[in-house]
A and B are shown apart, each in its own frame.
Chain A
Amino acid sequence: MKTTVLQKSLKEGINTVSRAVGKSTTLPVLKNILIKVKDNFLNISSTDLEMGVKWWVLTKTEKKGEITVPFSTISSFVNLLPEKNIDLQLKDNKLTINCEGYKTQINGVSSEEFPIIPEVKKDKSISINSRLFCEGLMQVIDIPSPSKVKPEISGVLFLFSGKQLKMVATDSYRLTEKTVNLENSVKSDFSFILPQRTAREIVNIFKEENKNVDIFFNSNQILFELKMDEVDHPKTQVSSKLIEGNYPDYKEIIPSKYETQVVLNKDEFLNKIKAASVFSGKINEVTLKIDTKKGELLVKSENPDLGDYNANIKAKLEGDDVSISFNYKFLLDGLNNIKSSQVLLGVNGESNPGVIKPIGKDDFLYVVMPIKNN
């Protein structure tokens, strides 16, 4: 292997694949990254056997070859190099790096040992703007939590239907649904469940780009691909296993009407809940009391050691009076992901799920279960 690459490019590549470098000690080669030089491309890949990342850059190939080297070593070293050309050369499983007087040899492990990152047949595909996709995904990404009983809900559901993509996540205490509009409608509806970890890394890797990401998948594997600007060749590929199984019929959970409905200023609501959280004690309980006669929403919390807190918010209220308690963290998680200035809070009694959604835009919905009143 012999090639020359810009330090900036190599750094970008190592940084991109860092997301999937394995931490496990069972197979030490997973802590390495695979560097391949072939047909005018330098290719770097990493995997932890759940997901894999591949990255390419155009380079002049003087001699082809491939090797794996420890990620931490090459990453620390390349970061310290000046922004100049780097010469890479391979000899007897040792990778020589030359750059402006810096010279090093890194001991590598044969590429034969490195896992093969599964390919996905590129027949079923969908293309979506990466920024739109990542921004939507960020609004739901923190919700799922690993569940032994229902592995399906430990991931994010992607539901493509018509001209819409719905991303759904739940941890069985709350559920959120984000709707993203697609440029073109899909031919037939389809869905898949992406592991939360992959979803996070997708956001990390693609959020800065403002180009289209192509998505290919089969029943158990998915591939996200970003093309190079210069030539028709992938620049970054992230592949991951999918979570098998059927996502619960989540639409049943979303209430269709509310006995009590409140329209509030989001920032005021957010701040008053944050203040209430100071007094909410260990169980994070904040009580919302809706008084339609007075036309206000009362935010209450109390802690036998610290004291108590009361705040009222003037709001547009409709329906029955109710007093309902929530975990303030759950309320904040919902409100923080809403971008509009006004929000709607819908409640059906003290022991049924409440709904928070933006006013004026119908693209986000947050369902949250209350805490039982004693």
Chain B
Amino acid sequence: MDKTKLWQTVLAQLKTNISEASFNTWFKNTKIESIENKSVTISVPNSFVKEWLENKYNKIILKTIKSIEGDIKQINYTINNNTPVKEKEEKTNFNQMNIQELVVDQETGLNPKYEFDNFIIGPFNELAHAAAYAVAENPGSVYNPFFVYGKTGLGKTHLLQALGNKIKEKKKVKYIQAQKFISGIVSGIRNGTIEDFKKQYKNIDVLIIDDIQFLSGKEKTQEEFFHAFNELYEKNKQIILSSDRPPKSINALTDRLRSRFEGGMIADINYPDTETRVAILKTKAQEKNFYLNNDVLYYIAENVQKNIREMEGVLNKLIIYQKINKGDLDLNSAKKILGNVFKSPVASVSINKIIKAVADFYDINEKEIISSSRKKEVVKPRSVIIYVTRKELEYSFPFIGKKIGGRDHTTVMHSYNKIEKELETNEETKEEISLIKQSILSM
């Protein structure tokens, strides 16, 4: 008879001999841990129960077990303390920050609040979600590596963490931010403890690295990561990565790494549509025990389009307002409160900003771009500057020419047309330009 069934039978028989109060007190959360060498080990929740069973019930338990499994000679008791803690109701306000190190699970690095259940699916993230789910069901075998990309604030981290949380029961999971991974390697090199650092990654089943684009330009880290990657990959261990751009648009990434990233499944997360945004807002509000009418929800959803995190910030603002003022919130007061937030001036774009953003993106000197150099590395960025400036600021070609090192307007036009043509055929350039535009806005 297997141990669960055996213990059930024993308990059923004991129940008739013992008062209900005692039975509930002393036999709750007990089970047979193991049966070997004619002795049974029973796990109990605390040492009170251990003392009691040892001293008062040992005989009767042994007798009952013997009547089922004749050859058992001895019973041992072991304490297995995993009774759940009763949690006090959360009263602290949600803007109160907490000490991250204490919230995340130290072993896995995962925050348990991220689950698949509270991940909202819409057309924009369907594919990523489905793939993540498949990976969670069969880690290491379906999509390996699994690469998710999408703009900031769209739920990459949520998806990755939910995935990790789902697997962590069965497999050894390690979640780490790329920045932390890098600083781990740097301090490992500095302190000569790099081997210890590497060891951490040898025995895991699932490695999740968030924001892998930060590896860009960190050659030593890329090399270490490459080795770790190969080692895990060869052992059929699951690797999950996220980034704000597809692998081919991550700059200064060695080719061997890029090709590995592209070797599995790549899924992207787009911007959510209005309906999905409303659904997300509803869920978030519900999590915070807060009610908002549909008008207000649509008002927020229509005004914050590209960032779920920002949407949450707006929601928090309304909640605070309502907490202080009580009463229901209608569309008008929501407009009053949020008017300033939404009307806040759009980050102004200037040609200098564009030059700086492009120079940063391609990792070249600003001066070099406006110099007369015709090196290939400089020509492309220069053309990009021209294209973006024309598109964003609608400056005339002669003016743009003057601004970037006194060039003739025909040269400028040629560069502009070249990029425009390239955009039709070359995905990579398209991606680069959209990233550059984004970085200009965040300057």
Interface residues of A (CB under 8 A from B): 26-28, 47, 49-50, 52, 115-118, 145-151, 153-154, 170, 172-175, 220-221, 241, 244, 246, 248-250, 252-253, 281-284, 303-305, 327, 351, 353, 367, 369-372, 374
Contacts and interface: CB of A to CB of B under 8 A. Distances in A.
Given A172-B102, A241-B46, A303 B324 contact: yes
A292 B362 CA distance: 40
A241 B81 contact: yes
Interface residues of B, number: 40
Given A283-B93, A351-B97, A369-B97, A116 B317 contact: no
A305 B98 CA distance: 28
B48 A115 contact: yes
A246 B96 CA distance: 26
Interface string B391-425: 00000000000000000000000000000000000
A248 B106 CA distance: 7
Contacts of A305: 324-325
B92 interface: yes
Given A220-B46, A303-B324, A370-B97, 12 more contacts: A47-B48, A118-B50, A118-B51, A147-B85, A170-B102, A172-B103, A220-B79, A253-B101, A283-B323, A304-B325, A305-B325, A369-B99
A234 to B, nearest CB: 18
B84 A220 contact: no
B227 to A, nearest CB: 27
Given A116-B48, A118-B50, A241-B47, A248 B88 contact: no
Interface string B22-48: 101100000000000000000000111
Given A115-B52, A147-B87, A372 B97 contact: yes
Contacts of A28: 21
A27 B25 contact: yes
Given A27-B25, A47-B48, A327-B92, A116 B324 contact: no
Contacts of B85: 146-148, 151, 154
Nearest to A148: B87
A250 B99 CA distance: 10
A71 B365 CA distance: 83
A27 B103 contact: no
18 contacts: A27-B24, A115-B48, A116-B48, A118-B47, A146-B85, A146-B86, A149-B112, A151-B84, A153-B102, A220-B79, A253-B102, A282-B323, A283-B95, A283-B324, A304-B325, A327-B96, A353-B99, A374-B95
Contacts of A353: 99
Contact of B101 (A50, A241, A249): A249
Contacts of A304: 324-325
A30 to B, nearest CB: 8
Contact of A116 (B55, B87, B98): B55
A253 B21 CA distance: 45
Nearest to B87: A148
B51 A170 contact: no
B81 A220 contact: yes
A213 B106 CA distance: 34
Nearest to B319: A283
Nearest to A303: B324
A284 B93 contact: yes
B316 interface: yes
A43 B325 CA distance: 59
A284 B92 CA distance: 9
B320 interface: yes
Contact of A253 (B79, B97, B99, B316): B99
Contacts of A369: 96-99
The B contact surface, by secondary structure, is helix
Nearest to B97: A369
Contacts of A153: 102
Given A115-B48, A146-B88, A304-B324, A374 B102 contact: no
A26 B48 contact: no
The A contact surface, by secondary structure, is loop
A50 B316 CA distance: 40
A168 B85 CA distance: 19
B24 A26 contact: yes
B26 to A, nearest CB: 9
A371 B46 CA distance: 39
Contacts of A174: 99
A253 B102 CA distance: 9
A282 B21 CA distance: 44
Nearest to B83: A151
A252 B102 CA distance: 11
A116 B88 contact: no
Given A148-B87, A172-B103, A374-B316, A282 B98 contact: no
A48 B178 CA distance: 48
Q: Most chain-B CB neighbours within 10 Å: which of A28, A117, A371?
A: A371
B87 A173 contact: no
Contact of A27 (B21, B81, B313, B323): B21
A353 B96 CA distance: 11
B326 to A, nearest CB: 10
A249 B56 CA distance: 41
Nearest to A304: B324
Contacts of B50: 118
Nearest to A175: B99
Contacts of A221: 47
Contacts of A117: 48, 51
A270 to B, nearest CB: 21
Contacts of A303: 324
A321 B84 CA distance: 45
B54 to A, nearest CB: 8
Q: Most chain-A CB neighbours within 10 Å: which of B55, B105, B324?
A: B324
A371 B102 contact: no
A150 B56 CA distance: 34
Contacts of B21: 26-28
A133 to B, nearest CB: 23
A246 B86 CA distance: 19
Closest 3 CB pairs between A and B?
A118-B47, A116-B51, A27-B25
Contacts of B313: 374
A147 B87 CA distance: 5
A374 B22 CA distance: 55
B320 A283 contact: yes
Contact of A281 (B22, B81, B316, B324): B324
Nearest to B48: A49
